[in-house]
Amino acid sequence: MQIEQARPDEAATVAAVLNEAAKWIAAEGRPLWSAADVGLERVQRDTDAGGYFIARAGTDVAGVVRIDLEDPGFWPEMESGSALYVHKLAVSRAWAGHGVSVRLLEFARERAAQLGRPWLRLDCVADRTPLRSLYERFGFSLHSEIHKGERAFARYEMQVQAIGAPPDTGKLPACGKLGAL
């Protein structure tokens, strides 16, 4: 499996994976992302900014993830530059059960290390037990739970070992293909 930064012209591909996942989650009776969250306009903006990455198996798009340099909405108290933040991790239904989520999390951890960010952080709706179990099996530790409106969110973090970090410019640097480990 290879993971590459999504090009601006791949925003529709990213949005398709996100929408497929959003529909699957909603069909299970657990809606998560709003249409605006996974709409092409929002995805295009984030893709243009270099935030989305695509996991490919051959020519198939297996999954996507957005990696942010900051997350003041869910982690406002954290020092700027201290972490990378994982958002909108989604797996194509055809690739469910093939380790794509784990590979995307490994990639995010590697990016944090490359950028010299000592923490990898993420959040999820607190009642998503299978998702929380995935994060915990991967090595994330529960940091805290916060409430936003009527929903509770679990905040997870993992300490990362830095490796030859380039200077932080405030934008994720482009990355080439990353082969399977």
pLDDT in tens, 115-124: 999 999 999 9
> Which of 101, 107, 102, 100 lies closest to 5 in space, CA to CA?
107
> Nearest 5°: CA angle at 1, between 28 and 35?
35
What three-state secondary structure class fits 161?
coil
| pTM of this structure | 0.87
Above 70 in pLDDT, residue 179? Answer: no
Asked whether residue 146 carries a pLDDT value surpassing 80, the answer given is: yes
d(CA 3, CA 174): 12
How far CA 160 is from CA of 82, 85, 111, in Å, comes to 10, 12, 10
- pLDDT computed for residue 29 by the predictor: 84
- Degrees, nearest 5: CA angle 131-137-139: 110
Contact 83, 75 (CB under 8 A): yes
Q: What is the mean pLDDT of the chain?
A: 90
Residues 159-171 have pLDDT tens digits of 998 665 454 445 5
pLDDT classification of 102: cutoffs 50, 70, 90: very high
β-strand pairing of 83-91 with 119-125: parallel
